[in-house]
Amino acid sequence: MNGAESLVGTAAAAGVEVCFANPGTTEMDLVRALDAVGGIRPVLGLFEGVCTAAADGYGRMAGRPALALLHLGPGLANGIANLHNARRAGTPLVCLVGEHATWHRRSDAPLQTDIEGLARPASAWVRMSSAAAEVAVDTAAAIAAARSAPGVATLIVPADCAWSEADGPAEVRAPTPPAPVADAVLEAARRVLAGPAPVALLLGGAALGERGLRAAGRVAAATGCRLLAETFPARWERGGDLPAPLRLPYFPEHATAVLAASATVLLAGARAPIAFFGYPGVPSDLTPPGTPVETLAEPGEDVVEALERLAGALGAAPAAPAPAEPPAAPAEPPPGPLTPAAAAAVIAAGQPEGAVVVDEGLTLSADYIAAAASAPRHTYLGVTGGAIGIGLPLAAGAAIACPDRPVLCVQADGSGMYTVQALWTHAHEGLDVTTLVCANRSYRILLEELRRAGVEEPPARARALTGLADPPLDWVALGRGMGVPSERATTAAELAAALERALAEPGPHLVEMVL
C-alpha cells in the first residue's frame, strides 16, 4: 500500500463518499488509488472552482465532508474563491492539493509555488505531509478538523508521499459536538424575551434548520418577538408550515431600518449584523447605536438545543401544525416581458415539494426569497462569502448529495459565467438540476451601487465595465454546448411553461430568463 492508497483508505473508512476532482500529473497516484482502493466516487469538474463549490454544496446537504482534489498551487488558486465561500458557510470540506515530489521542490520547477501560503486564507486547517508514512494520519486529522469546526481543511500531498510505500489507513476520531449554551446565558436571553421591549431574534447557522425554526417559532408565539434570518444563510429550511423569519436585507440602510424596529437584537447562531461593504459615512454595524445586541448562541455553539431549552423555559406551547391553508390557486403569469419580480413569482409558484434551491440570483434574490416563503417545503442554499461564481457548481454538489430531490439553481448571468463549466458536470453526471439564468445582461448590482453613489447615467468607461450586452451571452447555446437541454423565456408564461417542462423530465435543464 502506498501513501495515496492509505489516504483513500482512510477517507473511505471514515465515510467519505465523493471526490470532486480536477487532477494533474502530480495527483495521478491519488487517482490510481481511487481505483485501487474503491469506495469513493470521483466527479470531474472542468475547473477547480467547480470542484470546491460542488464539495461545498455536497457538504451543506450531506452534513459530512467530500474531498476536493486539486493540482498544485495554481489548481488550488482556481478553487480558492469557492473555498472562501465554503469557509464562510462553515461547510465540512477536505481539500487535497498535490505538490511536487519533496526532492523536486528545490528545483523551482515552473509550477512551483507557495501552496501553504495560498491555502491559509481560505482554510481553517492546513498541513503538508512530509513522508508517505504520515499521509494516513494527516488525512485522518484533516477529516477530523473538517468535521469538528466544521470547516475547510487543506492537506497538501507531495507526489513522492503518494507513490512511496506506507502503512495502512488511519482511524478518524469522532467529531466534537457543538458546545452547549450555558444556563446563565440562556436565562439572560429568557429575561430579554420575557421583558416588555420588542426583541428581534436573529437566526443563523443551524437555527435555520427545521428543529431550530420550530423552536424559534414557539419562542415567537410565546413572546411576540420578531424572527429574522441572517442575510446570507448557508442552508435554510423554508416553506410549508415552517416559521418564516424575515431575511435581513442586503443594503445597510434597509437592514438598519428593520433592526431599528426592535429594542434589542438577540443573536441565535448568527453573527452581529454588519454591512457587506463599507460606504462613506455609513457605519459597519447595522444595529442602530444604542440598541443592545445580546447573544443566545455564538456560531459553533449548539443553537438548536438552546432554542428548544429557551422555548421550554418560556413555557411556550409545543409547535402546532400551522393551520392548513388551502393552497392558493396558481396565479396567472403576468403578461408582457419578464420582470425580476414576475420571474421570482413564477419560480416560487413552480418549485416542487422537497426542492433544493440554490440562490445566486443576486439582484433577483430579494424578490425570490420573499415569494418563496409560501412555497412548498424546500431547502434554500445561499451565497455566504460573497465570492461570485458559486451557484452552478453548488447545485451540482447538492444534487449529488441528494439524488432524489429536484435542484433549482437561480443564477445571475455575470456570476454564472465565472464557473459556467459546471454545466458540463450537470450533463456528465445526469444531475436533476434546473438552472434558471437571470439574463439581465449586466453586472446589475454594480449599476445599483453607482446609482446609490449618485451616478444615474454611468459614463463610457463605467458602462464598459458593467455591461454584458455586446454581444449578449447566448445561454441556450452555452448550455447546449455543454450538453444541457436549454431554452429561452422572454415572458412569465414562457418561463412557467419552461420550468414545468424542465421539472417533468429527469436530468439537467437550463432556462435563460431574459429580464
Binders of a second copy among 321-340, rule CB under 8 A?
none
Is residue 360 near a second copy by the rule CB under 8 A? no
Binders of a second copy among 61-80, rule CB under 8 A?
73-75, 77-78, 80
Among the candidate windows 136-144, 170-178, 179-187, 481-489, which touches a second copy by CB under 8 A? 481-489
What span, in angstroms and rounded, lies between the C-alpha atoms of 390 and 232?
13
Is residue 478 near a second copy by the rule CB under 8 A? yes
- Exactly one of 225, 238, 475, 510 binds a second copy (CB under 8 A); that residue is 475
Counting residues that bind a second copy (by CB under 8 A) gives 96
Q: Phi then psi for 511, rounded to 5 degrees?
A: -125, 120
- Exactly one of 224, 464, 500, 506 binds a second copy (CB under 8 A); that residue is 464
- Exactly one of 225, 248, 364, 476 binds a second copy (CB under 8 A); that residue is 476
Among the candidate windows 46-54, 142-150, 302-310, 488-496, which touches a second copy by CB under 8 A? 46-54
Answer for the pair 334, 314: CB distance below 8 angstroms, yes or no. Answer: no
Is residue 474 near a second copy by the rule CB under 8 A? yes
Q: Where do we find the cell 486547517?
A: 125
Beta carbon of residue 203, minimum distance to a second copy (angstroms, whole number): 17
CB nearer to a second copy: pick between 182 and 465: 465
- Exactly one of 174, 324, 329, 460 binds a second copy (CB under 8 A); that residue is 460
- CA 495 remoteness from chain centre: 25
Residue 329 carries which DSSP code? P
Beta carbon of residue 144, minimum distance to a second copy (angstroms, whole number): 24
Walk across the sheet containing 264-268 and list its strands.
Answer: 246-247, 226-229, 199-203, 264-268, 293-297
Is residue 366 near a second copy by the rule CB under 8 A? no
Is residue 32 near a second copy by the rule CB under 8 A? yes
- CA 10 remoteness from chain centre: 27
Answer for the pair 193, 218: CB distance below 8 angstroms, yes or no. Answer: no
- CA 25 remoteness from chain centre: 30
CB nearer to a second copy: pick between 159 and 311: 159
Answer for the pair 374, 344: CB distance below 8 angstroms, yes or no. Answer: no
Among 504, 459, 509, which residue's Cα sits nearest to residue 487?
509
Beta carbon of residue 420, minimum distance to a second copy (angstroms, whole number): 7
Among the candidate windows 21-29, 146-154, 330-338, 371-379, which touches a second copy by CB under 8 A? 21-29
What span, in angstroms and rounded, lies between the C-alpha atoms of 315 and 243?
18
Beta carbon of residue 15, minimum distance to a second copy (angstroms, whole number): 18
Binders of a second copy among 284-313, rule CB under 8 A?
284-285
Among the candidate windows 23-31, 291-299, 326-334, 400-408, which touches a second copy by CB under 8 A? 23-31
Binders of a second copy among 179-238, rule CB under 8 A?
232
What span, in angstroms and rounded, lies between the C-alpha atoms of 489 and 498?
7
269-308: burial string, b at 16+ Cβ within 10 Å, e else: bbeebebeeeeeeeeebbbeeebebbbbbbbbbbbbbbbb
Among the candidate windows 193-201, 313-321, 365-373, 379-387, which touches a second copy by CB under 8 A? 379-387
Among the candidate windows 209-217, 268-276, 360-368, 496-504, which touches a second copy by CB under 8 A? 268-276
Strand 378-382 and strand 236-238: pairing? antiparallel
Among the candidate windows 187-195, 386-394, 395-403, 492-500, which touches a second copy by CB under 8 A? 386-394
CB nearer to a second copy: pick between 106 and 329: 106
Is residue 417 near a second copy by the rule CB under 8 A? yes
Give residues with Cβ within 8 angstroms of 130, minimum separation 6: 102, 158, 161
- Exactly one of 63, 107, 194, 506 binds a second copy (CB under 8 A); that residue is 107
CB nearer to a second copy: pick between 368 and 418: 418
- Exactly one of 5, 56, 160, 494 binds a second copy (CB under 8 A); that residue is 160
Beta carbon of residue 11, minimum distance to a second copy (angstroms, whole number): 14
- Exactly one of 114, 404, 456, 457 binds a second copy (CB under 8 A); that residue is 114
- Exactly one of 196, 323, 335, 459 binds a second copy (CB under 8 A); that residue is 459
**Is there a cis peptide before residue 337, judged by omega within 30 degrees of 0?**
no
Element (H, E) at 57: helix 48-62
DSSP assignments along 148-200, one per residue:
HTTSEEEEEEEHHHHHSB-----PPPPPPPPBPPPHHHHHHHHHHHHSSS-EE
Is residue 174 near a second copy by the rule CB under 8 A? no
Answer for the pair 261, 198: CB distance below 8 angstroms, yes or no. Answer: yes
What span, in angstroms and rounded, lies between the C-alpha atoms of 365 and 381?
12
Among the candidate windows 137-145, 195-203, 280-288, 350-358, which touches a second copy by CB under 8 A? 280-288
Among the candidate windows 321-329, 394-402, 464-472, 496-504, which touches a second copy by CB under 8 A? 464-472
Binders of a second copy among 425-444, rule CB under 8 A?
427-428
Cell numbers at 123, concatenated = 482554510
What span, in angstroms and rounded, lies between the C-alpha atoms of 185 and 295?
8
Answer for the pair 50, 422: CB distance below 8 angstroms, yes or no. Answer: yes
Is residue 275 near a second copy by the rule CB under 8 A? yes
What span, in angstroms and rounded, lies between the C-alpha atoms of 438 and 101?
45
Is residue 17 near a second copy by the rule CB under 8 A? no
CB nearer to a second copy: pick between 415 and 491: 415
- Exactly one of 211, 405, 480, 501 binds a second copy (CB under 8 A); that residue is 480
